[in-house]
Each structure stands twice: as structure tokens, then as C-alpha cells.
Structure 1
């Protein structure tokens, strides 16, 4: 058994737990991302607004993928 297979086997239970938590708390996670983005944008006085917006969007999509991975459904369109 190679290193990659060993890691997959050991991380499989954690993957399920993370997906379950993301599903149950998806709204809270999304709200936290928005709040963090707003705070950072205010602290940088809008200098990096576009980059913050891009990063926040990517993070939200990642949360959607994680939250809806096991149930076979597709995440709602933003």
C-alpha cells in the first residue's frame, strides 16, 4: 500500500464529517466568509476589493462543493 492510499484510507472518516458539518452549517459559513471579506476590505480601504471579492467567491463555491458532495445534488446557483 502506497503513501497515497494510506492517506486516503486515514482521511476518509474526516472527509465525511467535514461534509456533514458543511451541510449543517452552510449558512453560517457563508455569512462568516462575507463578514470576513467586508472587514478585510474596510481595513485595506478598498485597495484590494476585486481580489477579496474573487477569493470570497472561490471560498463560497468550495463550501458548496464540500456540503453537497455526498448527497448527489448540485449546489444552488448563486
Structure 2
């Protein structure tokens, strides 16, 4: 079992707390970069929030572009 699999197993059931942590980290990045990379940070936050609830074999479709 890889380290990522172990981390995912530990985080299962705590998606709400993971989401809060991801939001907080993204806000810090936005603050330190003065919002220059906000779009990329938002995309990373969305993808990270989806990770804990997924099995390693599942694939996620990219979000539709508005």
C-alpha cells in the first residue's frame, strides 16, 4: 500500500474537515500571491476536495467550461 493510499484511508469520513483545510490553505496562497493565481488555486481546491471520497481506481471528468 502506497503512502497516498494510507493517507486517503485515514481521511475517509472526514471530508468536511479536509475541505476546510483545503479552503484555508488556498486562501493563504491567494493572500501571499495577492490573488494572481486565484483561478489555478480554485481549480486545485476543487480537485483536492474531491480526492478523499474517491477510490484510487475511479476517474473524474474535468469540469465543463462555462
1:56 counterpart = 2:45: yes
Aligned runs of 1:1-78 on 2, under 5 Å? 11=1, 15=5, 17-65=6-54, 69=55
More helix, by proportion: 1
RMSD: 2.1
Residues matched between the structures, number? 54
What is the TM-score with the length of structure 1 in the denominator?
Answer: 0.57
After the TM superposition, list the runs of 4 or more consecutive aligned residues in structure 1 that deviate by more than 4 angstroms: none
1:30 deviates by 1.1
What is the TM-score with the length of structure 2 in the denominator?
Answer: 0.65
